[in-house]
Amino acid sequence: MKRKRSLLLLICYGFLATLAVFYGLLEMQSLFVTFLSFHLLVCLGIPLLHALWEGELRTRWRLAWETFDKSGMAYGVLLGVFLFTAIVAGMWLLLHHGVQEERIRFTLERWGLTSAWIGWFALYTVIVNSLLEELLWRGFVLQRLLRGVRRPTAIIVSSFFFALYHLIVGVVLFGLQWGIAVTALVFGAGVLWAWLKGCFPSAYPTWISHLLADLGLMVVLVVWIF
């Protein structure tokens, strides 16, 4: 019974992440509100409160950050470079086959992003967003799921919820067809990062890989959108 309650709670957290993004982007039309609701309350707040409540904050911090595996970092960098290249190439194709950069820029400006803030937004996304998403999905949700289900199931479930809120962003920015396609690719990236986390428990490999992937997105945003 305790295991079922724990799994149900994790599923609720997964939907809560999507609701936070939905509220910030669609209801409030604000990237700032989205960062507060999703990053602060969900990505940081949920794992931190659990660690404090269970008295495991120091232990989990050491497990995540004290082990620096050079082999793991090499895999993280290689995977990150692959994702960076795939994202830049994929977005170039997307922008030349039906998706207009004016539409993307108009939507982002409606959410509060302007050319004056694009540099800070890119820096925040590359460093902070990648870190907080890894702490939540691969550092908290995936590890909790592994206590109650088999690894393949845990990887699929955590990657599904990781991709779910990207569906909102993808459909709004790129339209339904391309939004679904982009979300499927995000799910694939989540599976790869979950596999990498299983091979190298430290936070560094998945973070550097995710960081490079987000860097690819920000290069596209700065060079072709703004």
Q: Which of 221, 168, 182, 181 is nearest to 28 (CA)?
A: 168
What gap in Å lies between CA 113 and CA 121, rounded to an integer? 8
Q: Give the per-residue pLDDT at 57.
A: 65
Structure tokens at 113: 């992003």
Q: Give the per-residue pLDDT at 4.
A: 79
> Which regions of the chain are under pLDDT 50?
none
Q: Which of 35, 39, 123, 83 is nearest to 205 (CA)?
A: 83
pTM comes to: 0.95
Structure tokens at 28: 């409030």
How many Cβ atoms from other residues are within 10 Å of residue 89's Cβ?
11
The total of structural domains in the chain comes to 1
What gap in Å lies between CA 209 and CA 11, rounded to an integer? 25
Q: Give the per-residue pLDDT at 59.
A: 74
Q: Give the per-residue pLDDT at 110.
A: 97
Structure tokens at 201: 């428990």
Extract the runs of DSSP E, i.e. beta strands, from 1-139: none
Q: Which of 85, 97, 176 is nearest to 184 (CA)?
A: 176
Q: Give the per-residue pLDDT at 67.
A: 79
C-beta of residue 208 within 8 angstroms of C-beta of residue 193: no
Query: What's the chain's Rg over C-alpha atoms?
Result: 17
Q: Give the per-residue pLDDT at 1.
A: 63
Structure tokens at 1: 């019974």
C-beta of residue 133 within 8 angstroms of C-beta of residue 141: no
Q: Which long-range contacts (CB under 8 A, 24 or more apart) does 125-130 make?
A: 125/214, 125/217, 125/218, 126/211, 126/214, 126/215, 126/218, 127/211, 128/39, 129/39, 129/214, 130/207, 130/210, 130/211, 130/213, 130/214
Cα–Cα separations (whole angstroms), residue 151 to 8, 58, 192, 194: 17, 25, 13, 9
Q: Domain limits at 105? A: 2-225
Structure tokens at 30: 């604000």
